[in-house]
Amino acid sequence: MNNPQLNANGELQHLLSIEGLPREILTQILDTAESFAGVTEREVKKVPLLRGKSVFNLFFEPSTRTRTTFEIAAKRLSADVINLNIAISSQTKGESLLDTVANLSAMQADIFVVRHASSGAPFLIARHVKPHEHVVNAGDGRHAHPTQGLLDLFTIRHYKKDFSKLTVAIVGDILHSRVARSLIHGLTTLGAPEVRVIGPQTLLPAGVEALGVRVFHDMREGLRGADVVVMLRLQNERMGGALLPSAQEFNKHYGLSADKLSLAKADAIVMHPGPMNRGVEIDSSVADGPHSVILPQVTFGIAVRMAVMSIVAGN
Amino acid sequence: MALHIKNGRLIDPASGRDAVGDVFVADGRIVESLKGKAERTVDAKGLVVAPGFIDLSVRLREPGQEYKATLESEMTAAVAGGVTSLACPPDTDPPLDEPGLVDMLRRRAKSLSRARVYPVGALTVKLEGKSLTEMGQLADAGCVAFSQANAPLADTQVLWRALQYAATFGYPVWLRAEDVWLAKGGVAHDGEVATRLGLPGIPPFAETVALGTILELVRATGARVHLCRLSSAGAVEMVRRAKAEGLPVTCDVGIHHVHLCDIDIGYFDSQCRLEPPLRSQRDRDALARALAEGVVDCMCSDHTPVDEDRKHLPFAEAEPGATGLELLLPLALKWGAAHKLGLPATLARITSEPAKILGVASGRIAAGAPGDLAIFDPQAPVRIAPESLKSQGKNTPFLGYELAGRVRYTVVAGNVVYEG
């Protein structure tokens, strides 16, 4: 089966998932992002790489942070950005996903940044766009959020330099998390020797070990000796049903407190894709504490998205 | 019409006969010899002459879903696939829960004079799983069994009563085992593939839990139950034990589930969005083996034409189902070859075995049996492509496959209804 993300020369045509991307491409994206990190600090925060190109932000699911950082990234690359909040436009009028894309394509799009509630939706779009058009997945269902995964990798590399000795613990709702899936694939591809997932059985998907992770149900055990702790957002709608009894009980077992964090390495970093539920998955003392790199993650996100868009558009 | 088929390799799975010879059909039935001259002679040299195929699950989409398929298109597809008898599940719109609807369907089918259509009536009104249909009247109108198709029957009290009632009158009940709650929201087998793709899973025990309930109710009521579309290795073992115990159960498997597994979903291929879901390789292998051993009685196409618009969607949103009538023979042959079964044993799974479940006299080549025949070249290649499919449904995971087994003639009641 051909990898639908790569063109005939093995270059990145679309960014749909971290899974299946070779280490060289991941490293190329991270290195390119490194070079863009400087742009953000300049007085004139623009480079002309995508001048004359149009980036369509197609968000079939609401998002503030991801959409905004994509918009900033595209503008810093001098692209024209068109934001479409599809959730309240054509889809409610019954237009199909592919019709929407075909219509936008007729408006001369170059890059589609797509977020959709259904796993695999960006793959469907990528199969139907014109050869010069590129699709960047900004989160599809539970499947993948590759730019978030890349910015997480960028953050880890920034603070820890080398993946080859790291123990990374990912904590919380793995079942519904596209962030976790993307990060796991990225870490295993870049050679992190120990990736742990920590959560109750109800929030771990079937056969998750096959992704190359070790499963822990006891958070203290799972955090022991970790270099990186990634907390996942726990959606409110998961509460009070059959998955979890309450936010308080989740916090008791799987919330990151200073006390639990003390089991990780002394120089461990704490990450969170946002938005945070303080007092649920993470205590404020940790979120705002010395181990936290949560705000730098957001800043790095812009450089990583610039790198991704400039690379796909250049291929 | 007197028909003479000469020089073919006659295969009658019911008797195990496999020899070159001639077949004669007069007045719609197979006869030892013709009294007068044949009105038509077919030279079947180099071809296999088998009983016409019997398919236990074919959605014709009439009434109510003519945008997906019509009786006309699907009956043409049936005979192009060598299928001469088919059972259609009751999940039409409206469902087959009234004698008038069944009667109309049978009349419409009869007027097309292609394959024989055996409607399966709804077990509950509107398939809502609440109140029983008028099974007696539906049976009089031509229903051969009663079923919920893929509609859930969550209320086990209703299921119990339905089986008691059907058992009272000896009506067979066809059920697909799936626990509504365990399957809720799921679109793929709950395993490594679904985990990787982020697709909500349906665990295999959604099938075995429901199957346990059904078998316990069969034990209590004595109802004759046919289990539709097994999907898991666990279910196979339960049926094996139930049969050993002597419970009156039979079962079938769909063509997709003996050849494909969840890995075939690849990059979200919505052609593989099926009900029940494609399960693991281990499940697939267990199903294919059980079919060879006879634990699974027969194979059906589970023909479900879906229009393109409803397949061109993200995996979870795509409508489940695949077209199958024209793939039944090639996929049966592929399965038989993989298990080193001869043609008689292979063809039994799509002729004599489903005939027993349907309770019909066709499915064999013997004097007095209905003159329904499929004449095919088992080696001739068929390429599965939208333009070569007669069915209005062009949706199948096998698009692009090159398979072996091409139907040359299909005969129903002594009339050649298809030549390819």
Please give the residue of chain B at the shortest CA–CA distance from A209: B192
The alpha helices in B198-280, defined as continuous H runs, are: 205-221, 233-245, 255-259
CB within 8 Å: B197 and A124: no
With cut-offs at 50, 70 and 90, classify the pLDDT of residue A202.
very high
The label of the residue with tokens 């942070």 reads A65
Residues 6+ apart with CB under 8 A from A49: A77, A78, A310, A313, A314
DSSP state of B278: P
**Are residues A254 and A281 in contact, defined by beta-carbon separation less than 8 angstroms?**
yes
Q: Who's near B357: CB < 8 A, 6+ residues apart?
A: B56, B172, B226, B250, B252, B297, B298
**Local confidence band at A302 (pLDDT 50, 70, 90 cut-offs):** very high
Would you give the distance in Å from CA A220 to the centre of its chain? Answer: 26
Report which secondary-structure segment, H or E, holds B279.
none
Query: Among A244-248, B213-217, B416-420, which stretch is predicted with the lowest mean pLDDT?
Result: A244-248
Q: If you measure CA to CA, which chain B residue comes closest to A176?
A: B198
Distance from CA of B245 to the nearest CA of A (A): 33
Closest CA to B14 of B416, B368, B410, B417: B368
The burial of B173, by beta-carbon neighbours within 10 Å (0-12 exposed, 13-18 middle, 19 or more buried), is given as buried
Residues of chain A neighbouring B197 (CB-CB closer than 8 A): 119-120, 143
Q: Are the Cβ atoms of A206 and B267 closer than 8 angstroms?
A: no
Say what the pLDDT of residue A87 is: 67
| B282 vs A: CB within 8 A | no
pLDDT class of B381 with cuts at 50, 70, 90: very high
The residue written with tokens 């998907």 in the block is A205
Taking a C-beta distance cutoff of 8 angstroms, is the pair A144, A19 a contact? yes
- At CB < 8 A and 24+ separation, what contacts does B163-169 make? B163/B217, B163/B218, B163/B220, B163/B221, B163/B223, B163/B225, B164/B221, B164/B223, B165/B132, B165/B135, B166/B123, B166/B135, B166/B223, B166/B224, B167/B221, B167/B222, B167/B223, B167/B224, B169/B135, B169/B136, B169/B139
Which residues does B325 contact at the CB level (< 8 Å), separation at least 6? B55, B58, B74, B77, B78, B80, B81, B83, B86, B301, B303, B391
Partners of residue A230 on adjacent β-strands: A170, A271
Assess whether pLDDT exceeds 60 at residue A90.
no
Angle between helices A294-314 and A65-76 (to 10 degrees): 50
pLDDT tens digits along A116-131: 999 999 999 999 999 9
Average pLDDT on B253-282 reads 98
Q: Which two tokens stand for residue B356?
A: 């027993």
Query: What single DSSP character describes residue A141?
Result: T
* Contact indicator for B46, B360 with CB cutoff of 8 Å: no
How does the average pLDDT of chain B come out, rounded? 97
CA-angle at A224, arms to A223 and A230, nearest 5°:
25
Residues 180-209 of A with CB under 8 A from B: 181, 205-208
The structure tokens listed for A195 are: 């990736």
Q: Determine the average pLDDT of the residues in B355-373.
A: 97
Would an 8 Å CB–CB cutoff place B192 in contact with chain A? yes
What are the structure tokens assigned to B398, written together?
A: 């096998």
The answer to whether the CB of B234 falls within 8 A of the CB of B207 is yes
pLDDT of residue A84: 84
Instruction: Centre a 10 Å sphere on the Cβ of residue A131 and count the other Cβ atoms it contains.
Output: 7
Active site residue B302: yes
Instruction: Please name the residue of chain A whose CA is at the shortest distance from the CA of residue B309.
Output: A96
Interface contact B192-A206, CB threshold 8 A = yes
Give B208-252 pLDDT, tens digit per residue: 999 999 999 999 999 999 999 999 999 999 999 999 999 999 999
- Collapsing DSSP to helix, strand or coil, A274 comes out as coil
The gap between the terminal CA atoms of chain B, to the nearest Å, is 21
The percent of residues in chain B predicted with pLDDT above 70, rounded, is: 100
Task: Return the structure tokens found at A245.
Answer: 């009894």
Q: Is the pLDDT of residue B148 over 60?
A: yes
**Cα–Cα distance for residue pair A119/A122, rounded to 1 Å:** 8
Residues of B in contact with A19 (CB under 8 A): 196
ipTM for the predicted complex: 0.93
DSSP annotation of A235: -
Q: CA B206, CA B238: separation in Å to the nearest integer?
A: 14
Helix A23-37 vs helix A178-189: crossing angle, to nearest 10: 110
SS3 assignment, position B49:
strand
Residues 6 or more apart whose Cβ sits within 8 Å of residue A147? A15, A66, A70, A136, A137, A138, A301, A304, A305, A308
Q: What is the mean pLDDT of residues A61-65?
A: 86
Chain A interface includes B197 (CB < 8 A): yes
* Cβ separation A120–B313 shorter than 8 A: no
β-partners of residue B225 are B173, B249
Name the strand (E) or helix (H) holding B175: strand B173-175
Q: Are B98 and B59 in contact (CB under 8 A)?
A: no
Residue B186 contacts A where some CB pair is shorter than 8 Å? no
Asked which of A76-90, A265-279, B99-113, B308-322 is least confident by mean pLDDT, the reply is A76-90
**Measured distance CA(B89)–CA(B91) in Å, rounded:** 6
Our CA-based measurement puts residue B315 at a distance from the nearest CA of chain A, in whole angstroms, of 7
Does residue B117 sit in helix, strand or coil?
A: strand
